[in-house]
Amino acid sequence: MAIIPVPRPSKKAWNPDRPVNALLVAQVAHLQHAERRLPLGYRSKIYTRAIRTEGEAAQYIREVTEAVHNAHADARADRAKHARVAKGRSKTKAKGRKGGRGR
């Protein structure tokens, strides 16, 4: 596979004081949608409608991305912990009726 050289962006490309553009507004909206599905302890305290600059958008994107990663890492650790506990237990059938409404 051929390596394709990609030039570095110029120093002027990143301006944290520049007004946020439509692409970043859409990205913030998508991340807010994902953030609403996180447990309360992982959610940011940033009011997304107040985001006006690229720097503010970058801060929100960073916080939500880290929160998603942390939530998944904690859930993975919790599942592993419960798997170790359940490994020692015997398997029993669940009581109750199977399928349907049972009328």
CA distances from 49 to 26, 29, 42, 57 (A): 12, 9, 19, 10
The CA-based angle 91-93-94, given to 5 degrees, is 120
- Taking only the tens place, the pLDDT of each residue in 16-73 is 999 999 999 999 999 999 999 999 999 999 999 999 999 999 999 999 999 999 999 9
List the domain boundaries for the chain.
Answer: 15-87
Give pLDDT, residue 98: 60
